[in-house]
Amino acid sequence: MDAVTQLSRNLDINTKVSRVWEKRTEVAQKQFDERVNSALGRNGGASSGEASGGAWPTPWDTWSYAIDMAQRSVMFWDTLRDRGSEFVKRTAGKPQPVLHFDYEYILDGREFARPVNYALLKIRPPEGVTVDARKRPYLIIDPRAGHGPGIGGFKDDSQVGVALRAGHQVYFVIFFPDPEPDQTMLDVCAAEQEFVRKVRSLHPDSGKPVLIGNCQGGWAAMMIATTDPDDTGPIVINGAPMSYWSGAWSEGEGDNPMRYSGGILGGTWLASFTADLGDGKFDGAHLVQNFENLNPANTFWDKYYHLFSNIDTEPPRYLDFERWWGTYYLMNREEIEWITRNLFVGNKLWSGEVKGTTGKALDLRDIRSPIILFASLGDNITPPQQAFNWVADLYGSTDEIKARGQVIVGLMHQSIGHLGIFVSGKVAKKEHAQIVSVLEAIESFTPGLYSMSITDHEGADGKIEYEVEFREHQLEEIAAHFNRFKRDDEKPFQAVAELSEFNQQAYELFAQPFVQSMSNEMSAHLLRAFHPLRFQRWAFSDHNPWLAWLPSAASAVKNHRQAAKADNPWRRIEQVGSEMISASLDYYRAVRDAGTEATFFTIYANLFSKFLADHHRAREDVALPATEARDQPYVREALAAIQEGGYTEALARAAALLARQNEPLPLSRLFTRKELAQAYADYLPDLPPDQWRRIRGEQEIIVRHEPVQAIATLPLLLGDKGDRERFLTLFGHLLTDERVLGTRPTEAQRVMFERIRTMLAKHAVREQPVEAPVHP
């Protein structure tokens, strides 16, 4: 590349980065001004004076508020003391999973040939809940992202709770604080495969177990299903960053700052350095601190003010959450390096560059069970692009999804944050409960890519009722919808991966021996103990003698509580001040994230442009797929077999010909399908679900690309007289079945019914032998 071209390219990049930076800061300033004006009552809101009817605080208001303020302060600090004391007690003992339910141990990975700090639990149904061993079991895998396990069953309204109430036995994968010596992520994957096999052996009369993976647990679920497709049922991955380079880069509000951290920190070497300082163990508190830094307003002010403002009722909920949030687990160096190199920075899981326990490269296309992807537009840790883009990378087109017999369903929440996907009781009662209710129906889907939507309304009894609807989409349409810049903003991450490899090797060559020689168990223990997140807990606990007065003072305050009235003008002033602090911290976050993003693209977009762009473009040109869908290899293979097959292929083709086009698929129609399948089971092929889906996908490709030939060649698939009669008998039953008529077939379906029946009838007449005339 000549110097003029490179200079022009750099100028274009820097101009775009500057424009986005200006827009980001402009939006941040606008949002800050709106919050300040709203707090001060300049946008129609109530000002401090208006809150009390326009009157200024009276002396009595001031006295009442002063007492209330002092009492709340004592109770607030006592709650933090309780938090610290609980942390010390939990750390000194053996931290338990924060499960709301009783459980029993089934398998302990520490006893395996390759020991790992994982175990399989069986959840005991609470009183009044009955599970059916014949229903498919659920296996939930929690994320190992610094915290302890149990968030998937944190409360009654949770993933565990809704599955139990639906009658399914639930199993849970947990892990212990300290990893086993030399354990690796592949050892963990092998152990989890053993867990799946054990669950299946405990339920021989049920369907294959459902795997639910939360965040990083989603990677584990996908790796298990890829390695052992014969043992796994449907897979539900919630907030799982499967395509870590993805995000949304555009002019406007900042998005997904965490995806830039690898580049800003120089790649994976920092994780290795931190693990070396920990004497070979990586402290999960660093991951938790990264999460907290994403939202400084909540970390440093909002959650504490919410506790302070509602000190009479909030402490139990706050302490219950802190029991999980404030427990930090460790990883081996090999584990965190595998995660950062292959997932966070390398982004290799979907590409087939990661090898499984057998040494074979993991190909996610080997998964034969339906996959449900749950993400949220409000999640800035795993945005929808990271949850969905791997599908476009892996399959390339809708036809390939169908040719491989895969069913992928996407469910999108509009606003919930990352933790809310797993923790929120409302999400559990709505999204997770409906996922449980429709999994069996999803298994009967024709291969393809679907969206799932849930609407709620008040029923006749006053309770909330939910309606589930599915709609099929084209992969190309979904990829374009979620990626505003056609994923050009992902290319600089290739430069990050290249630089990361260089920095990693440089660290291992020049610095690692020195760091390891200076580290030992004592130094590692001190570093962990004085980590800011741990220090703020144990330093403010019963171990601190300066706080000996606090419990008795708090008890006295609770016994003589004098809360200020809600309309006290000073309470309104307090709330305004709190909102100003929160708005300022949010403004800081927005400007910080915009600056981080601008810095990232200024460095790595130019690096990519200068050193990798031409190579990348040449590689794209070589591997450029055919522009016409008919020229794709799997489409050509399907069309070449248009005259091949038998009764099974004919039935699948007829189903494709009769399918409703461009219409939503309500849950009621899915239940009707299930009833019909059970009623006419004798007429349906006895095949494994994944094989039946693959055949249906191939026939749908034929129908889409050659609809006329698909009808004309249908009789060839029913050359056997018995098959044809069986096929026509099934058609006859369906045409008169009240359940079919109740779904109101469209006019196009009625016409297609008649065309198929007429075509088969004519073919049967042509095949009738001509009898010789009988002469008297």
Q: What are 253-275's pLDDT values in tens digits?
A: 556 788 899 999 999 999 999 99
Mean pLDDT, the chain, integer: 88
DSSP letter string, 255-321? --GGGGHHHHTTSTHHHHHHHHHTTTEEETHHHHHHHHHH-HHIIIIIHHHHHHHTTTTSHHHHHHH
Average pLDDT, integer, range 88-113:
93
Average pLDDT for 195-218: 94
Distances (CA, A) of 688 to 39, 436, 448, 564, 681: 61, 21, 18, 67, 14
- The answer to whether 213 touches 145, Cβ cutoff 8 Å, is no
Check if the beta carbon of residue 548 is closer than 8 Å to that of residue 34: no
By C-alpha distance, which of 525, 514, 512, 534 is closest to 278?
525
Looking at residue 749, what is its pLDDT?
A: 79
Give the position of tokens 């079991």: 137
Mean pLDDT (whole number) for 338-359: 86
pLDDT the model gives residue 684: 85
pLDDT (mean) for 747-771: 71
- The pLDDT assigned to 52 comes to 42
Tell me: the pLDDT tens digits for 737-751?
777 766 777 788 788
Q: Which of 4-13, 323-332, 357-366, 669-678 has the highest mean pLDDT?
A: 323-332
Strand partners, 332: 281
Determine the average pLDDT of the residues in 282-301: 95
- CATH code for the domain in which residue 157 is found: 3.40.50.1820
In a domain, 202, yes or no: yes
The answer to the question of residue 426 being in a domain is yes
From 196-205, 248-257, 481-490, the region with the lowest mean pLDDT: 248-257
List CB contacts of 178: < 8 A, sequence separation 6 or more.
117, 281, 329, 330
- In angstroms, rounded to a whole number, what is the distance separating the alpha carbons of residues 459 and 313? 31
Short-list 96, 98, 214, 83, CA closest to 154: 98
Residue 384 lies in a domain: yes
What is the reported pLDDT for 674?
74
The token pair that represents 501 in the structure block: 């490899």
422, pLDDT greater than 90? no
For 127, the domain range is 103-248+334-487
Confidence of residue 757 (pLDDT cuts 50, 70, 90): confident
117 lies in a domain?
yes
CA angle (715, 721, 724) in 5-degree steps: 50
Q: Is the pLDDT of residue 493 over 50?
A: yes
What are the CA-CA distances from residue 363 to residues 140, 227, 390 (Å)? Answer: 22, 9, 12
Nearest-angstrom CA–CA distance, 197 and 224: 11
Which DSSP letter does residue 361 get?
A: B
Q: Is the pLDDT of residue 279 over 60?
A: yes
Residue 529 resides in a domain? no
pTM over 0.75: yes
pLDDT exceeds cutoff 60 at 344: yes
Interatomic CA distance for residues 558 and 553, integer angstroms: 9
Residue 616 φ then ψ, to 5°: -65, -40
Q: Report the alpha-carbon distance of residue 104 to residue 580 in Å, rounded.
A: 49
User: For residue 452, what are the β-bridge partners?
Assistant: 411, 470
pLDDT in tens, 632-691: 888 888 899 999 999 999 989 988 888 877 777 776 776 677 777 888 888 888 888 889
**Predicted confidence band at 700 (pLDDT cuts at 50, 70, 90)?**
very high
Token pair for residue 394?
């892996």
Under a CB-based contact definition with an 8 Å cutoff, are residues 150 and 119 in contact?
no
Q: Is 712 helix (H, G, I), strand (E, B) or coil?
A: helix
Q: What is the pLDDT of residue 573?
A: 93
Number of domains the chain contains: 2
Confidence of residue 770 (pLDDT cuts 50, 70, 90): very low
Average pLDDT over residues 368-378: 93
Q: Residue 400: pLDDT above 70?
A: yes
Band (pLDDT 50/70/90 cuts) for residue 164 is very high
φ and ψ of 115, to 5 deg? -65, 140
pLDDT grade for 767, boundaries at 50, 70 and 90? low
| pLDDT number for residue 289 | 95
Mapping DSSP to helix (H, G, I), strand (E, B) and coil, where does residue 341 land?
helix
How many other β-carbons are positioned within 10 Å of the β-carbon of residue 501? Answer: 16
Q: What is the DSSP letter of 214?
A: E
* Residue 666 belongs to some domain of the structure: yes
Mean pLDDT of 233-245: 92
The yes-or-no verdict on residue 595 having pLDDT over 50 is yes
In terms of C-beta density within 10 A (0-12 exposed, 13-18 middle, 19 or more buried), how is residue 758 classed? exposed
Counting every residue written for the chain, the total comes to: 776
pLDDT over 90 (residue 290)? yes
Counting residues of the chain whose pLDDT is more than 90, the rounded percentage is 57
Q: Identify the CA nearest to 254 among candidates 556, 542, 28.
A: 28
**pLDDT bucket at 764, cuts 50 / 70 / 90:** low
Q: Is residue 756 in a domain? A: yes
Least confident range of 197-211, 318-332, 629-643: 629-643
Predicted confidence at residue 367, as pLDDT, reads 93
- Residue 170 DSSP SS3: strand
| Cα–Cα dist 653/717, whole Å | 10
Q: Which pLDDT value is given to residue 383? A: 87
HEC per residue, 637-677: HHHHCCCCCCHHHHHHHHHHHCCCCCCCEEHHHHHHHHHHH
Choosing from 472, 487, 502, the residue where a domain stops is 487
Q: What percent of the chain has pLDDT over 70?
A: 92
Going by pLDDT thresholds of 50, 70 and 90, the confidence category of residue 47 is very low
β-pair partners for 120: 107, 173
Q: Which of 446, 472, 487 is the last residue of a domain?
A: 487
In this predicted structure, the answer to whether residue 55 has a pLDDT above a threshold of 70 is no
Three-state SS at 770: coil
Which of 128, 200, 123 is closest to 163 using CA atoms? 123
Predicted confidence at residue 48, as pLDDT, reads 45
Best CA proximity match to 678, nearest among 723, 739, 727: 739
In a domain, 53, yes or no: no
Q: What is the pLDDT of residue 771?
A: 47
Instruction: State how far Cα 231 lies from the chain centre.
Output: 22
How far does CA 571 lie from the centroid of its chain?
40
pLDDT at position 774 is 42
Across 100-120, average pLDDT: 96
Cβ(125)–Cβ(131) below 8 Å? yes
d(CA 80, CA 247): 37
- From 487, 519, 536, the end of a domain falls on 487
Nearest of 403, 386, 305 to residue 350 by alpha carbon: 386
* pLDDT on residue 1: 59
Containing 456, the helix (H) or strand (E) segment is strand 448-458
Report d(CA 90, CA 323) in Å as an integer: 9
SS3 377: coil
CA distance 79 to 86: 11
Question: Sheet harboring 464-473: ordered strands across?
Answer: 103-108, 118-123, 170-175, 138-141, 210-214, 235-238, 371-376, 407-413, 448-458, 464-473, 665-666
pLDDT at 752: 85
Name the pLDDT band for 772 (thresholds 50, 70, 90): very low
CB 348, CB 335: distance < 8 Å: no
